[in-house]
């Protein structure tokens, strides 16, 4: 008889609080949750009401409580309600409730938990100090939703390069699995860039082991970027004979991959059989019968797919009736010592006489007339670059700079690039010199000079790869981009 009881309380001017609490308790005992909650609301015992409604899953009723009774001073209660809404998946209620909070950190956390990125970014716009707190979970969320490219960007923004690298590695490996080799190449390029970035942020790497490990990773990623980029063309040639790649480019490309495969372990999914097959077919077409024979001989040593055997046997037989030579235009005069090299040197991509590594165009994989040099050890990067940029009374031609007769050329020792002193650096024509800058004290900048100042060579500003001007311009005209790194580029010259 609650009505009679409350009338009695009123008449005696007593406090109705205790009576109402008893009433609510009896409603709870009768399992009448909604009525009990209403009674608790009347007494101002919101916490009890929230627990009853929340535990019973009465979300609409709970939201009604929030709207009617709660203000920003009820922070703890608001958070309690939000927890219930989140638990029941009522994110819209959670977000609306969160708007009652004045504490930005808590509010942001609720938006992040609710994955309400729009609201979270709004807070980020007004309070830039929260950016990092938003970028990381957003990166995670993007990665969970297979949006790895964007995830990678946000990891970097959040100052979490390790996570960015993890995602990139995953992307690269996935692209390889899907035979999407050109994309894999792009990811390996980004990986090498991130390694340099990571190294440049570590001002004093105490463990040299760590540094060496990173540097060797950098080398691996750089070469993988090139290999997968090259292999994309070979793979397309084998699977689709109507390739757009000119045969000379394709032959150079296959050679570049093959020489690597003959001396190193295969990167995943790069097939020696496909590479040799491509080389054999194309070299025959270009009348490079010596190279063609070499490719067929290597193919015969490999276990071939059944359906290929007859074609390969026939090809190998036909090429034996041809002269065992490659046309002169495919032989490679060494940029340093002038020795005429065979088209393919199975041991390495170097001169057979002086061992200088050949620098290849990142488009056609043709040997470029470029020589890498290093400044004398006591010349800093800054000084070296200043000397190279200054204008002397007279530039020396690259030929004079090198003084070839004095170069220490011997194939017994490991090759060392020519060393330039201050005078040579000063006299070098800046138009003939290329500098690959890494902007990182742990990775030395690389210096290259044209063997012949009239050679038209272009270096991409972004990926710092070299190209013949003609092929660069052709690519940029067609696609507007560097063919290696696919970044928008301008015509040279
Ligand atoms: Zn040489
Ligand atoms: Zn590029």
Distance 272 CA to ligand 1 centre (A): 28
Distance 341 CA to ligand 1 centre (A): 8
Distance 363 CA to ligand 2 centre (A): 10
Give the SS3 label for residue 372.
Answer: strand
Nearest ligand, CA 462? 2
Distance 63 CA to ligand 2 centre (A): 56
- ∠374-378-379 over CA atoms, to 5°? 60
Residue 156's contacts (CB-CB under 8 Å, 6 or more residues apart) are 164, 194
pLDDT of residue 209: 58
- HSE-CB for 102 with a 13 A CA cutoff: 6
Nearest ligand, CA 476? 2
**pLDDT (tens digit per residue) in 234-266:** 999 999 868 888 999 999 999 999 999 999 999
Given a cut of 50, the residues of the chain with pLDDT beneath it are: none
Distance 410 CA to ligand 1 centre (A): 9
pLDDT of residue 439: 85
Distance 189 CA to ligand 2 centre (A): 10
Distance 484 CA to ligand 1 centre (A): 27
Nearest ligand, CA 337? 1
Give me 263's structure tokens.
Answer: 């001396």
Residues lining ligand 2 (ion), CB within 5 A? Answer: 460, 462-463, 482, 484-485
pLDDT of residue 254: 96
Mean model confidence pLDDT for the chain: 86
Distance 434 CA to ligand 2 centre (A): 14
Burial bucket for residue 138 (CB in 10 Å: 0-12, 13-18, 19+): buried
Q: How far is CA 22 from CA 29, 50, 85, 420, in A?
A: 10, 18, 28, 95
Distance 325 CA to ligand 1 centre (A): 21
pLDDT of residue 380: 86
Give me 174's structure tokens.
Answer: 């996935």
Distance 447 CA to ligand 1 centre (A): 18
Give me 375's structure tokens.
Answer: 């400044």
Residue 155's contacts (CB-CB under 8 Å, 6 or more residues apart) are 135, 136, 139, 161, 163, 164, 167
Overall pTM > 0.85: no
Distance 362 CA to ligand 2 centre (A): 9
Residue 205's contacts (CB-CB under 8 Å, 6 or more residues apart) are 199, 211, 442
Please measure the distance between the N-terminal and C-terminal CA atoms of the chain and give it in whole angstroms: 99
Gyration radius (Cα) of the chain, Å: 35
Nearest ligand, CA 341? 1
pLDDT of residue 107: 79
pLDDT of residue 477: 94
Distance 368 CA to ligand 1 centre (A): 13
Distance 347 CA to ligand 1 centre (A): 14
């Amino acid at each position: 008889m609650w009505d009679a009881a409350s009338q009695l309380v009123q008449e005696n001017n007593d406090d109705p609080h205790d009576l109402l609490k008893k009433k609510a308790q009896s409603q709870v005992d009768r399992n009448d949750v909604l009525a009990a909650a209403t009674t608790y609301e009347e007494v101002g015992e919101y916490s009890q009401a929230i627990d009853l409604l929340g535990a019973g899953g009465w979300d609409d009723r709970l939201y009604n409580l929030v709207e009617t009774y709660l203000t920003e001073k009820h922070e703890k209660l608001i958070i309690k309600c939000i927890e219930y809404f989140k638990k029941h998946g009522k994110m819209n209620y959670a977000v609306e409730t969160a708007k009652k909070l004045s504490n930005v950190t808590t509010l942001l956390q609720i938006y992040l938990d609710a994955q309400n990125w729009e609201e979270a970014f709004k807070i980020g716009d007004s309070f830039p100090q929260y950016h990092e707190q938003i970028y990381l979970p957003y990166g995670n969320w993007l990665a969970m939703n297979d949006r790895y490219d964007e995830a990678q960007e946000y990891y970097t923004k959040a100052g979490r390069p390790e996570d960015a690298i993890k995602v990139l590695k995953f992307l690269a490996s996935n692209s390889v699995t899907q035979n999407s080799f050109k994309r894999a190449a792009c990811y390996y390029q980004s990986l090498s860039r991130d390694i340099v970035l990571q190294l440049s942020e570590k001002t004093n790497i105490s463990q040299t082991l760590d540094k060496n490990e990173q540097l060797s990773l950098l080398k691996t990623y750089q070469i993988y970027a090139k290999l997968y980029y090259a292999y994309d063309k070979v793979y397309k040639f084998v699977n689709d004979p109507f390739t757009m790649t000119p045969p000379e480019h394709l032959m150079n490309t296959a050679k570049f991959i093959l020489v690597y495969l003959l001396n190193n372990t295969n990167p995943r999914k790069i097939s020696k059989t496909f590479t040799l097959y491509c080389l054999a077919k194309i070299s025959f077409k270009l009348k490079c019968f010596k190279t063609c024979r070499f490719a067929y001989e290597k193919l015969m040593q490999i276990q071939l797919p059944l359906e290929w055997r007859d074609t390969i046997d026939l090809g190998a037989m036909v090429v034996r009736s041809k002269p065992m030579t490659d046309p002169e235009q495919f032989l490679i005069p060494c940029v340093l010592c002038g020795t005429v090299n065979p088209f393919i040197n199975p041991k390495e991509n170097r001169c057979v006489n002086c061992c200088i590594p050949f620098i290849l165009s990142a488009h056609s994989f043709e040997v470029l007339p470029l020589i890498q040099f290093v400044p004398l050890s006591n010349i800093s990067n800054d000084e070296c670059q200043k000397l190279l940029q200054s204008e002397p009374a007279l530039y020396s031609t690259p030929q004079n700079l090198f003084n070839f007769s004095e170069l220490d050329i011997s194939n017994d020792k490991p090759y060392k690039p020519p060393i330039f002193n201050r005078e040579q650096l000063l006299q070098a024509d800046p138009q003939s010199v290329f500098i690959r800058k890494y902007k990182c004290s742990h990775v030395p900048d690389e210096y290259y000079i044209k063997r012949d100042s009239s050679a038209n060579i272009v270096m991409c500003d972004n990926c710092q790869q070299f190209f013949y001007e003609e092929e660069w311009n052709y690519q940029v005209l067609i696609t507007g981009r560097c063919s290696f790194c696919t970044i928008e580029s301008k015509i040279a010259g």
